[in-house]
Amino acid sequence: MPILGAMMGFMSMKWTVAVNGAIIQSMLPALVVLLAWAIRLETIKVRQIAGLLIAAMGVLEIVTRGDVGILLSFAFNIGDLLLLISTCGLAGYSALFKRVEAKPRLLVSLAVIFVIGAIFHLPLLVYELWQGTPMPLNLATSLSIAYVVIFPSLIAVMAFNYGIEKLGPSTASSYHNFMPVVTALLAYVFLGEAIVWFHVVGTVMILFGVYLAASGKAVPQPAKA
């Protein structure tokens, strides 16, 4: 599920735009809450739902730059559909990972994910080589691959799995709303982009929303006898 979701997430960026991607990905915490409730894993509190809604509004404040017209001009395309499937896959993984009782060690589970991912992507690599359009091997692509392997694939997955185990899927996924905040900070540090009012307003809303979601932590439902 996470392997297919990651692949679709990368593919979707070929057809969709960054704003659409950010809007769709902001649905992740709400989808996790719904799935955790649907499979009777957690009982959701009203305070947590309010926190998730406020945090989602903060995300939209940042990605739309405070312009409601961007939301009204949202146009759905094939890239958005792939990204929506990817987001649903990650939400399902988040909820089901907590449900599994006998979990392997983090490094073992990562090794399994990497092996399955390599097998899953092998036909795509063969097709790319057959088409004569392989990725050029140079410093830029090598650094890009190294970044994807170390940060999104290794560190992020380990940290996310640990957070799900300790906090529960609903609370852990609420921290996903910090992605646009971190993106804005990195853009400021490395690209020199300005921090403006909608970044500040959105960040405050996200902080408050995540605080509500975490303090109104979902209660695990008792197992049936």
**pLDDT of amino acid 172:** 82
Q: How confident is the model at residue 216 (pLDDT cuts 50, 70, 90)?
A: low
The position carrying tokens 């599920």 is 1
Question: Is the per-residue pLDDT at 155 higher than 80?
Answer: yes
Tens-digit pLDDT profile for residues 60-101: 888 787 887 777 777 777 877 878 887 888 888 787 777 776
More confident residue, 181 or 24: 181
C-alpha closest to that of 106 among 163, 181, 26, 52: 163
Instruction: Tell me the average pLDDT of the chain.
Output: 78
Question: Can you tell me the mean pLDDT for 13-22?
Answer: 70
Question: Is the per-residue pLDDT at 224 higher than 60?
Answer: no
Each domain of the chain, given as residue ranges in start order, spans 2-101+137-220
**pLDDT of amino acid 189:** 86
**pLDDT of amino acid 225:** 44
C-alpha closest to that of 169 among 37, 58, 47, 56: 37
The percentage of the chain sitting over the pLDDT mark of 90, rounded to a whole number, equals 1
Tens-digit pLDDT profile for residues 18-37: 667 777 777 888 888 888 88
CA 183 → CA 33, 129, 203, distances in Å?
Answer: 24, 34, 12
Most confident residue range from 74-78, 131-135, 140-144: 140-144
More confident residue, 225 or 70: 70
**Cβ-based neighbour number of residue 43 at 10 Å:** 13
